[in-house]
Amino acid sequence: MTSLRLGNLEIATPVVLAPMAGVTNAAFRRLCAEQGAGLYVCEMITSRGLVEGDQHTKDMLVFDELETVRSVQLYGTDPVYVGKATEILCAEYGVAHVDLNFGCPVPKVTRKGGGGVLPWKRNLLGEILRHAVKAAEPFGVPVTMKTRKGIDEERLTFLDAGRIAAESGVAAIALHGRTVSQAYSGVADWDAIAELKTAVPEIPVLGNGDIWEAADALRMMDQTGVDGVVIGRGCLGRPWLFRDLASAFAGETVETLPNLGEVAAMMRRHAELLCEHMGEERGCKEIRKHVAWYLKGFGAGGDTRRDLGLVKTLADLDELLDRLDPNEPFPASELGAPRGRQGAPRHKVVMPEGWLDDTDGIGCAIPEDTVSGG
């Protein structure tokens, strides 16, 4: 079985769950971990929010009791805040891995100079990485980073980002093969991922983008030479993907094609975990957003889908799931099909005024957000 080493941390399979706002809470991470080994990263939080004690940020730092490796993705634009936040995560929350987000394409993040546009400021990127690595070092906690190809095809940053990451002591770099302007549209550029792997032999490189089935992960590793894969939208409504991935990396050719009864059981387990962590009212409200993903391609009727989208109790959920035909086979049309948001490319990436004027960024007076979350 292929494993992945990040500093002193070894992951049994080279698979990382990408943080997705409003999705990768403790319950979902537990659900996915029950399917197969990997590194399951907490939703992105802001460094300033953590340092200044924002309650919403602290509420997001909830871990399941069986979450033996606590992993958190951190967002920030200020090296000092990022360093302090990293120290807090290590010292007070027992985090074993910190991932820095330099890939988010959401306007609320990029307009502050964060996420996928920050690597344009090469010196600022290096300062942030060095502060984080230095803060984590006494605890033996590896720091990794995730980024995109660049702002757009004319402003590519991934090769410089890889070089700076290696020079700064980062344990690994993950590349989503799209630009910020692409957001989630189009096709991920695996050639860019391969180029980064060749350019940065000193540290592990992880690939992200368009992995919908376990076979896609094997194909990406074969084509690009990456050390591991990052799974995002591909697991929406399909947490068993991690079981398929574990089997694939173990050399087994197992592909899960659950019938609707098995999917309903997975949905029920998901709701149960959500209720354990959030209480029944909030947990049932949370499961509603997953209904369309779980039932994608199945012939469940419109009334049942609507009612599932309004479910309030686990008893109600059980009654509604009983309406489904448990023997309905998994829709073959969904194999390899994109999941989650796609949208259209952005003609203009929102950035601070004058952001492209230089590639320095030291001393930028763009304040970070205090409140975490998407």
For residue 293, the domain's CATH number is 1.10.1200.80
Q: Which of 255, 283, 316 is the last residue of a domain?
A: 255
Whether residues 87 and 167 fall in one domain = yes
Tokens of 307: 């009612």
Given a contact cutoff of 8 angstroms between Cβ atoms, the answer to whether 278 and 26 are in contact is no
Whether residues 198 and 273 fall in one domain = no
CA 299 to CA 321: how far, in whole Å?
A: 13
Q: Which of 205, 228, 255 is the last residue of a domain?
A: 255
Whether residues 281 and 148 fall in one domain = no
Of 42, 90, 104, 284, which one is the catalytic site residue?
Answer: 104
CA 236 to CA 184: how far, in whole Å?
A: 15
CA 47 to CA 59: how far, in whole Å?
A: 14
Q: For residue 268, is it within any domain? A: yes
158-215 pLDDT tens trace: 999 999 999 999 999 999 999 999 999 999 999 999 999 999 999 999 999 999 999 9
Whether residues 80 and 93 fall in one domain = yes
pLDDT bin (cut points 50, 70, 90) of residue 340 is confident
Q: For residue 199, is it within any domain? A: yes
Tokens of 150: 């660049």
Residue 255 has pLDDT above 90, yes or no: no
| Number of domains observed in the structure of the chain | 2
DSSP codes, 51-83:
HTT-HHHHHH----TT--S-EEEEE-S-HHHHH
CB within 8 Å of 120: residues ≥ 6 apart? 150, 151, 155, 157, 355, 356, 359, 361
Q: For residue 123, is it within any domain? A: yes
Residue 96 has pLDDT above 80, yes or no: yes
Q: Is 275 a catalytic residue?
A: no
For residue 36, the domain's CATH number is 3.20.20.70
Q: What are phi and psi of 295, to 5 degrees?
A: -95, 5
Residue 117 has pLDDT above 60, yes or no: yes
**What's the pLDDT score for residue 347?**
81
273-310 pLDDT tens trace: 999 999 999 999 999 999 999 999 999 889 999 999 99
Tokens of 186: 């189009």
Q: For residue 369, is it within any domain? A: no
Residue indicated by tokens 């996928």: 116
Strands 39-46, 15-17: parallel, antiparallel or unpaired by DSSP? Answer: parallel
Question: What's the domain range around 129?
Answer: 4-255
Whether residues 53 and 170 fall in one domain = yes
CA 273 to CA 314: how far, in whole Å?
A: 11
CB within 8 Å of 35: residues ≥ 6 apart? 239, 240, 241, 242, 243, 246
Burial 143-166 (b: 16+ CB within 10 A, else e): bbbbbbbbbbeebbbbbbbbbbbb
Percent of the chain at pLDDT exceeding 70: 96
Burial 198-207 (b: 16+ CB within 10 A, else e): eebeebbbbb
CB within 8 Å of 302: residues ≥ 6 apart? none
Q: For residue 364, is it within any domain? A: no
CA 313 to CA 304: how far, in whole Å?
A: 15
Whether residues 197 and 287 fall in one domain = no
